[in-house]
Structure 1
Amino acid sequence: MEHLTYQRKVTIMAAIIAAMFFASINQTIVGVALPRIIAKLGGMDYYSWIITIYFLTTTIATILVGKLSDIYGRKNFILAGIVIFMTGAFLAGTAGNIFHLIIYRGIQGTGAGIIMATAFTAIGDLFSPRERGRWSGLMSAVFGMSSVLGPGLGGYVVEHLEWHWVFWIFLPLGFIAFFMILFLFPKVERQEAQSIDYAGSLILTLIIISILLAFSWAGSKYPWSSPVILGLFSFAAAALVCFLLVENRAKTPVLPLSIFRESAVTISNIISFIMNAGMMGALMYMPLYVQGVMGISPTYAGYVTMPLSLCMLATSAYAGRYMTNTGRYKKLALIGMVVMVLGMFLMVIMDDIPVAVLSMIIFGLGLGLGMPVFMMAVQNAVDSKDLGVATASVQLFRNLGSTIGISVMGTVLTASITSKMNLMVSKSSSLMNTDLEPETFHGLMKLMDPQLLLDQPKLAEIRDGLSGQALPVFDQLLETLKHALSVSLSNVFLTGTVVLGIAFILTFFLQEIPLRTTVHKESKTKSESNFTYGHRKDISGC
């Protein structure tokens, strides 16, 4: 698509932005609403699975479609992704229990993976890495806008409408995105010489599933040392060996190992993995904290997380302009990682709304600076023929990091809550008033479920139904329960801080290759001759 006029490229970008906004707004609107949806459907133990299954299917779809889109072109895949995502969204709104919701979220994740893989790669087809910096800022702005609108809207919907509308309200936007892609996106013919790596695709899928199941079940459903968990890890290790052998012999490998010879690709993917694993504590568990511990309604919980999106929007736009103007990116990554670590650490020590908002502001500033860098570094380092699979590799490692991070954070949360709850039960006798009947007290103890903290209207209803000595006992037990959840979530945020610290250290090893001013990768000598530090070339016609 390099031959297209600049005006035509901008038109195509409008279609891509519509598709990505549709996918991202549907994700952000669900985040804040999930605690209330869980309160309605039940299944607090499966809270993390709703998120995990989404990233699991997204991860598999992303890496498989990355290579296929290099062969068949991007258009048909992004159209299929929109249809699958819309189907999953519609079905999710009809879920009758937590297990149905998990399945339908998996369908949504498949569609989202296809959309993201093809959309980001299409930008690489259209623009040079140097010019791509500007568009990466715009794409981050799309995510930022959806992050601003989604949480508040999601909270409003679950408070004033049926929760089903969280999944249905933006379906009309999906039709708009579909027809924009259908009519505006050019069709690219299949590369006839290419073959499909079925064996590699199957083995890679099995590796991803086994790893994610192991991390999801370990410490919650099964002990880490159980035969099931050890068996899954062993299977993943054996499958990885088979995958390396198959990929070395495949004519068109689903994940060419040659791209990892570039240190920029390898380091960027490792950092993306670790960074996403750490930051999920901020993005996924902050709504749980402000609603469960602080008692904030879903609507206002969205306002607490909104500063993150606004700050990410501002700094990502700056980062895009900076990379376009200078061709450099490593300094942005280092500064962004430091700021993210600081923001996450504030979440560990927060105890009121102002500190929570401040942590979101700082974390968002760092996220906007650092997040666009690693995708840009990878796309700049590979040949154009591997652009799709290289872009998909970044999405793969990001999604793996997010999924494993959520699973590990969920394990930390579950273990901490279980420990605190057991301690609370063992000390429950000290809370019993001598004037309170044992039967009434034990009835109150049965209500001490962390899931109850997510449904403030139900809590108020229970409290209004109590009187006499039962009321102060209920309030005291409720405060103890909030404290248990608070301490447990602080452990989650502390784990995220440590993980992000590791990602920051690795950023020092990122090789900075000057951003090209051409779509196709050229020889080193020619590329360097086209690059001038501190001076922006006229590349609007690339």
Structure 2
Amino acid sequence: MEHLSHKRKITIMMAIIMAMFFSAINQTIVSTAMPRIIAVLSGMEYYSWVITIYMLTSTLATVLVGKLSDIYGRKPFILTGIVIFMIGAFLTGFSKDIYQLIIYRGVQGVGAGIIMASVFTAVGDLFSPRERGKWTGVMMAVFGFSSVIGPTLGGWLVDNFAWKWLFWIFLPLGVVAFFMILFLFPKVERNKTEKIDYLGSFFLSLTIIALLLGFSWAGTKYDWGSFEILGLFAAAVLCLVIFIFVERQASSPVLPLSLFKNDIVTISNAVGFIMNAGMMGALIYLPFFVQGVEGISPTYSGYVTMPMSIAMVIMSTVIGRIITKTGKYKRFALFGLPIMIAGMLIMAFMNSVWLAVVAMIVFGLGLGLGMPIFSLTVQNAVKPTELGVATASSQLFRNLGGTIGIAVMGTIMTSSLARNMEKAASSGTGFDFDKIDPALAEQLAAFHNPEMLLDQPKLAELQSQLPADVQPIITQLIDTLRDALSSSLTTVFLAGTALVVIALILTVFLREIPLRTSNKMPESEQPQATELGAERV
């Protein structure tokens, strides 16, 4: 599609941006509201599962669609993704319990994975790697804009309306995006030389499912050393071995192993994996600090995260244009990751809302600098015929990192919180229920549950129903809960920081090659872009 006129490309990009914004806003709008939703549906122990199932299904959809879109084109998959996402969003609003919420969010994840894999690859079809720098910045800015208005709007909606409207309010936008893609996006003829790798897709899916279930259940539903968890990890390894064997024999593999002979692809995907594990695993618990520790409502909680998104939008837009102008990109990743690390360190030791805002600004600047780079490096290092599967591999490792990071950080959060509560009880800073009337102790038991901090209206209601002479006890209990939660979050943020440090170290070894000014890869560039051990730039 590189031959299309500039005007036609811009029109198509408007349709792509609309589809991406529809998917992105439906993700960000629930971020600040999710603690309240979990509290209403009762199921804090499944909090990470609501996020994990979304990441799991989107990951599967992303990697499977990558190769299929190379065969059939991007248009049918963008349309399919929008429809599935809309169905999932509509059903999520009818959730009666935490289990239905998890299932319907899984459906949404399928749609989101299809959309995200297709739209980023479509940009690669339209523009050369050199031009993609600018458009990658624009796409990041769109996602950042959704991150600006999404959390604040989500918090306001959950404070003033039924939470189901979080999932329904943007459904009309999905309809608009669907018809824009339908009429504006050109149809591409099927590549009849490629065949669908059913067997490889099957074993790749089994590998991902077993791996992510193992990490999601370990430390929560089952012990890390339990038969169930070890069995899942063993199954993941077995399926991976079979998958590798199948891919070696496949004429058109769903995930070509030759991609990983390319040092740029391998290092970029490794950095994306580790960076997302640290970033997502930590940031998903930021609302716990703002709402649980500081007692801020979901509405104002969105204002706390807004500066991060604004900083990311500005920085990614500016950096995208600079990359297109200069053709240089590695330096921005090397600048961005240390800034992200600084932001996460501030999160680890923040003790006020204003310090949380500072952390968000610093982290957003680093995110805008570093995040767009690693998709661009992958797309620039492969042949145009591998664009879809290469982009999908990048999305796959990012999603795997985010999903595993959330699961591991969830385990760290849960175990740390339990230790802190036990420590408070044994040190005497907690309250001894044995010293008061059993009937009153039963009433106060609810204030011994950290989940109570996330549903402030219910907390205030229960507190107002108790007599005045008990209020000092309640204050002591709430302070103990907040201290325990705050200490646990510090542990989570430090763990996330450590992972981003590892990502920075790997980035140092990333080989930088010139960004092509055409989608056609010259023969002279192919060996340099696809073989390990090439001379570093």
Q: TM-score range by the shorter chain?
A: over 0.9
Alignment partners' CA distance in 2, 1:235 and 1:159: 44
Alignment partners' CA distance in 2, 1:434 and 1:240: 54
Q: Is the 8 A contact 2:416 2:488 kept in 1?
A: yes
Displacement of 1:207: 0.4
Aligned to 2:164: 164
Aligned to 2:531: none
Q: Is the 8 A contact 2:21 2:142 kept in 1?
A: yes
User: Cα gap change, 1:522/1:305 in structure 2, threshold over 3 Å: closer, same or farther?
Assistant: same
Aligned to 2:203: 203
The amino acid that maps onto 2:103 is I
1:33-182 superposed matches below 5 A = 33-182=33-182
Q: What secondary structure is seen at the aligned counterpart in 2 of 1:469?
A: helix
TM superposition score normalised by structure 1: 0.95
Displacement of 1:463: 1.4
Aligned to 1:492: 492
1:232-381 superposed matches below 5 A = 232-381=232-381
Deviations 1:279-319 (A, max 9, x none): 01443111121001100000000000001100000110121
Displacement of 1:97: 0.3
Aligned to 2:23: 23
Q: Which moved more, 1:482-491 or 1:436-445?
A: 436-445
Q: Is the 8 A contact 1:206 1:236 kept in 2?
A: yes
Q: Indicate the RMSD between aligned Cα atoms, in angstroms.
A: 1.6
The amino acid that maps onto 1:113 is G
Q: What secondary structure is seen at the aligned counterpart in 2 of 1:517?
A: coil
User: Cα gap change, 1:219/1:129 in structure 2, threshold over 3 Å: closer, same or farther?
Assistant: same
Q: What secondary structure is seen at the aligned counterpart in 2 of 1:519?
A: coil
Q: What secondary structure is seen at the aligned counterpart in 1 of 2:30?
A: helix
Q: Is the 8 A contact 1:432 1:441 kept in 2?
A: no
Displacement of 1:223: 1.1
The amino acid that maps onto 2:101 is L
Q: Is the 8 A contact 1:78 1:119 kept in 2?
A: yes
Q: What secondary structure is seen at the aligned counterpart in 1 of 2:519?
A: coil
Aligned to 2:463: 463
Q: Is the 8 A contact 2:345 2:494 kept in 1?
A: yes
The amino acid that maps onto 1:205 is S
Deviations 1:221-277 (A, max 9, x none): 111111111111111111111111110110000001111121110000000000000
Q: Which moved more, 1:279-288 or 1:394-403?
A: 279-288
Q: Is the 8 A contact 1:66 1:389 kept in 2?
A: yes
Aligned to 2:191: 191
Alignment partners' CA distance in 1, 2:31 and 2:430: 38
Alignment partners' CA distance in 2, 1:181 and 1:270: 33
The amino acid that maps onto 2:451 is Q
Displacement of 1:441: 2.8
The amino acid that maps onto 1:115 is I
Q: Is the 8 A contact 2:264 2:510 kept in 1?
A: yes
Q: What secondary structure is seen at the aligned counterpart in 1 of 2:51?
A: helix
Displacement of 1:520: 1.9
Deviations 1:410-457 (A, max 9, x none): 000010112222334446797359994243134313431111101111
Gaps of 5+ in 1: 529-542
Q: What secondary structure is seen at the aligned counterpart in 2 of 1:135?
A: helix
Q: What secondary structure is seen at the aligned counterpart in 2 of 1:162?
A: coil
Q: Which moved more, 1:437-446 or 1:292-301?
A: 437-446
User: Cα gap change, 1:429/1:373 in structure 2, threshold over 3 Å: closer, same or farther?
Assistant: closer
Alignment partners' CA distance in 2, 1:114 and 1:496: 28
Alignment partners' CA distance in 2, 1:435 and 1:520: 78
Alignment partners' CA distance in 1, 2:526 and 2:39: 60
Q: What secondary structure is seen at the aligned counterpart in 2 of 1:348?
A: helix
Alignment partners' CA distance in 2, 1:61 and 1:319: 30
Aligned to 1:408: 408
Alignment partners' CA distance in 2, 1:517 and 1:30: 39
User: Cα gap change, 1:494/1:525 in structure 2, threshold over 3 Å: closer, same or farther?
Assistant: closer
Q: What secondary structure is seen at the aligned counterpart in 1 of 2:371?
A: helix
Aligned to 1:13: 13
Displacement of 1:527: 12
Question: Is it true that 1:383 corresponds to 2:417 in the alignment?
Answer: no
Deviations 1:465-497 (A, max 9, x none): 122431111110110011111111111101000
User: Cα gap change, 1:418/1:324 in structure 2, threshold over 3 Å: closer, same or farther?
Assistant: same
Q: Which moved more, 1:110-119 or 1:446-455?
A: 446-455
**Count of matched residue positions in the alignment of Structure 1 and Structure 2:** 528
Alignment partners' CA distance in 1, 2:19 and 2:490: 36
Q: Is the 8 A contact 1:441 1:470 kept in 2?
A: no
Aligned to 2:534: none
Q: Is the 8 A contact 1:336 1:366 kept in 2?
A: yes
Aligned to 2:417: 417
User: Cα gap change, 1:429/1:4 in structure 2, threshold over 3 Å: closer, same or farther?
Assistant: closer
User: Cα gap change, 1:437/1:389 in structure 2, threshold over 3 Å: closer, same or farther?
Assistant: same
Q: What secondary structure is seen at the aligned counterpart in 2 of 1:524?
A: coil
Aligned to 2:443: 443
Aligned to 1:535: none
Alignment partners' CA distance in 2, 1:526 and 1:263: 13
Aligned to 2:511: 511
Q: Is the 8 A contact 1:67 1:388 kept in 2?
A: yes
Deviations 1:132-153 (A, max 9, x none): 0010111011001100010000
Alignment partners' CA distance in 2, 1:54 and 1:308: 23
Alignment partners' CA distance in 2, 1:436 and 1:220: 32
The amino acid that maps onto 1:461 is E
User: Cα gap change, 1:301/1:325 in structure 2, threshold over 3 Å: closer, same or farther?
Assistant: same
Question: Is it true that 1:476 corresponds to 2:461 in the alignment?
Answer: no
User: Cα gap change, 1:228/1:482 in structure 2, threshold over 3 Å: closer, same or farther?
Assistant: same
Deviations 1:132-183 (A, max 9, x none): 0010111011001100010000000000010000000000000000000000
Alignment partners' CA distance in 2, 1:349 and 1:291: 16
Displacement of 1:71: 0.2
Alignment partners' CA distance in 2, 1:222 and 1:432: 30
Gaps of 5+ in 2: 529-537
The amino acid that maps onto 1:248 is R
User: Cα gap change, 1:297/1:376 in structure 2, threshold over 3 Å: closer, same or farther?
Assistant: same
User: Cα gap change, 1:433/1:393 in structure 2, threshold over 3 Å: closer, same or farther?
Assistant: closer
Q: What secondary structure is seen at the aligned counterpart in 1 of 2:284?
A: helix
Q: What secondary structure is seen at the aligned counterpart in 2 of 1:502?
A: helix
Aligned to 1:501: 501
Displacement of 1:106: 0.2
Q: Is the 8 A contact 1:254 1:389 kept in 2?
A: yes
Q: Is the 8 A contact 1:215 1:408 kept in 2?
A: yes
User: Cα gap change, 1:196/1:426 in structure 2, threshold over 3 Å: closer, same or farther?
Assistant: same
Q: Is the 8 A contact 1:433 1:469 kept in 2?
A: no
The amino acid that maps onto 2:318 is Y
